[in-house]
């Protein structure tokens, strides 16, 4: 731990925030959607823009495993496979963009995508009153590409993919199961791209991520246990408020 702290220049405060972030990711994958939005800007503040995505990705993959194990039988593969090729195209576009910008610009891109994702969350929950429905291939293409870009640059494609699945009228378990499989597949595909092209995943970063596995597992347990006890309206606005502040700190 001392060597890792020296390698990344981490303080005790940094470690505390990182552990909390790992717990929040576990909670998000176990049924508290949106809470991991706080994680993205927090890690970007600690590690920098591009490096933070390399730290977060293995955490997401480990947390995805919990979600897939718990909900694997409820996935709707038809809807998943319609969006997946377009999401991969979005990944590749974002991969190219990420190589054209410096870390300061990368962090601002993360902040902008976080802001846009929050706007989508608010619009989805409070602004859009009509019933979402679309079977046209362009619907899956548009949201798939947008989601691919958002997940590659900032790991914040959740609200975008949520709109796509809402249009498919899935029940709760099918929604969670399809989401779990989609992001597990996408995050596994992202791993070699980030490691080989962006070169932001290393032996040291993986060692740090593995140390966070107990925190991820604890977060998953807390998510399953606490999801029904948190007033939904208070929770959503608190998460959005903290995330906006964190993203603003990255942007300035």
pLDDT at 87 over 90: yes
pLDDT at 234 over 80: no
How far apart CA 161 and CA 179 sit, in angstroms, is 8
CA atoms in the 13 A half-sphere facing the CB of 77: 3
Span 94-114, average pLDDT? 81
CB atoms inside a 10 Å sphere around CB 221: 15
Query: Residue 211's pLDDT is what?
Result: 95
**Summary mean pLDDT of the chain:** 82
36 secondary structure, DSSP code: G
| Angle at alpha carbon of residue 232, lines to 228 and 233, rounded to 5° | 165
Query: Residue 192's pLDDT is what?
Result: 94
155 secondary structure, DSSP code: S
Contact between 177 and 78 under an 8 Å Cβ cutoff? The reply is no
Enumerate the H helices of the chain as residue ranges. Answer: 2-8, 12-29, 39-47, 49-71, 77-98, 103-122, 137-154, 158-166, 172-193, 203-211, 213-226, 232-251
Portion of the chain with pLDDT greater than 70, in percent: 81
19-56 residue pLDDT tens: 999 999 998 887 676 677 789 889 999 998 889 999 99
pLDDT at 240 over 70: no
Reported as a pLDDT band with limits 50, 70 and 90, residue 150 is confident
pLDDT at 228 over 70: no
What is the pTM assigned to this prediction? 0.82
Q: Which two tokens stand for residue 4?
A: 């890792």
Of 55-64, 145-154, 214-223, 239-248, least confident by mean pLDDT is: 239-248
How far apart CA 176 and CA 165 sit, in angstroms, is 10
Portion of the chain with pLDDT greater than 90, in percent: 33
Query: Residue 33's pLDDT is what?
Result: 66
199: left (phi over 0), alpha (psi -120 to 50) or beta: left
Reported as a pLDDT band with limits 50, 70 and 90, residue 127 is low
Span 237-248, average pLDDT? 65
Of 76-80, 136-140, 141-145, 170-174, least confident by mean pLDDT is: 170-174
Query: Residue 12's pLDDT is what?
Result: 93
Q: Which two tokens stand for residue 65?
A: 């495993």
Residues shown for the chain: 252
**Between these two residues, 223 and 130, which has the higher pLDDT value?**
223
pLDDT at 98 over 90: no
């Amino acid at each position: 731990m001392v060597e890792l702290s020296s390698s990344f220049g981490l303080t005790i405060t940094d470690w505390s925030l990182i552990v909390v972030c790992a717990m929040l990711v576990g909670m998000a994958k176990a049924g508290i959607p949106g809470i991991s939005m706080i994680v993205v800007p927090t890690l970007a503040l600690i590690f920098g823009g591009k490096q933070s995505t390399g730290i977060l990705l293995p955490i997401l993959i480990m947390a995805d495993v919990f979600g897939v194990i718990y909900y694997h039988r409820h996935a709707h593969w038809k809807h998943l496979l319609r969006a997946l090729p377009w999401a991969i195209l979005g990944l590749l576009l974002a991969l190219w963009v990420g190589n054209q910008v410096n870390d300061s610009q990368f962090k601002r891109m993360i902040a902008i995508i976080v802001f846009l994702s929050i706007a989508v969350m608010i619009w989805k929950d409070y602004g859009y009153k009509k019933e979402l429905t679309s079977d046209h291939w362009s619907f899956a293409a548009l949201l798939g590409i947008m989601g691919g870009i958002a997940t590659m640059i900032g790991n914040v494609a959740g609200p975008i993919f949520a709109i796509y699945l809402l249009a498919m009228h899935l029940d709760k378990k099918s929604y969670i199961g399809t989401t779990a499989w989609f992001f597990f597949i996408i995050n596994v595909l992202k791993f070699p791209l980030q490691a080989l092209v962006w070169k932001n995943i290393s032996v040291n970063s993986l060692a740090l991520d593995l140390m966070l596995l107990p925190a991820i597992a604890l977060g998953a347990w807390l998510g399953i246990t606490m999801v029904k006890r948190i007033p939904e309206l208070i929770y959503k606005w608190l998460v959005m408020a903290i995330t906006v502040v964190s993203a603003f700190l990255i942007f300035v």
